[in-house]
Amino acid sequence: MIYNINMRIIPFLLLGFFSAFIFSTNIEAKVLPQAAKATSKTITKTVGTGINITPRLRTDRRALIVYFSSLQNATSVSYMLIYDTSIQQEGAGGSLNLKNRSSQTSELLFGTCSKGVCTYHKSIKNAKLEVTYSLKSGKKYIKRYRIKV
């Protein structure tokens, strides 16, 4: 029996045959014990090596309370709160004493205190907190927060 096949169709027939062969073949891969150990090491991420910063307004909204945790990973932490009043730009800042502490809290007033008497600023706008810290790994970070007063 003689078949009359158009020469343009042959490459498509061959392609169909080989693709059916390739895609229908099941290939099973096994992980060797030493490869499994290496894989688990590469999947492990260095999560939690930074510090945690949680700024919250005090209930009377006259101060910003900043909670710092995971400080055992840091070598230095400093912070600056800057905000606008109806008259001028104001601010408060400081740094943390990290000696033997894993967490700390700082309270930053929207105002000034002298001899136990505090005067609070009014019409506060554009409040921003900037925290700069260095880790024991040598990396330095700056985190910025907008505070809605």
Q: Is residue 14 part of a domain?
A: no
pLDDT (tens place) for every residue of the chain, 149 residues total: 454 555 555 444 444 444 444 444 444 444 444 444 433 333 333 345 689 999 999 999 999 999 999 999 999 999 999 999 999 999 999 999 998 889 999 999 999 999 989 999 999 999 999 999 999 999 999 999 999 98
List the CATH number of the domain containing 71.
Answer: 2.60.40
> What's the structural domain count of the chain?
1
Q: Is residue 10 part of a domain?
A: no
Domain that holds residue 57: 52-147
In terms of Cα–Cα distance, which of 83, 79, 110 is closest to 97?
79
In terms of Cα–Cα distance, which of 64, 65, 67 is closest to 90?
64
Exposure b/e, 97-130, CB count within 10 A at least 16 = b: ebeeeeeeebebbbbeeeeeeeeebeebeebebe
Q: Is residue 99 part of a domain?
A: yes
Q: Is residue 39 part of a domain?
A: no
Q: Is residue 60 part of a domain?
A: yes
Q: Is residue 125 part of a domain?
A: yes
Q: Is residue 5 part of a domain?
A: no
- Please give the span between the terminal C-alpha atoms of the chain, in angstroms, as a whole number: 91
CA torsion angle 115 117 122 128 (round to 10): 50
Q: 7 is written with which tokens?
A: 């020469």
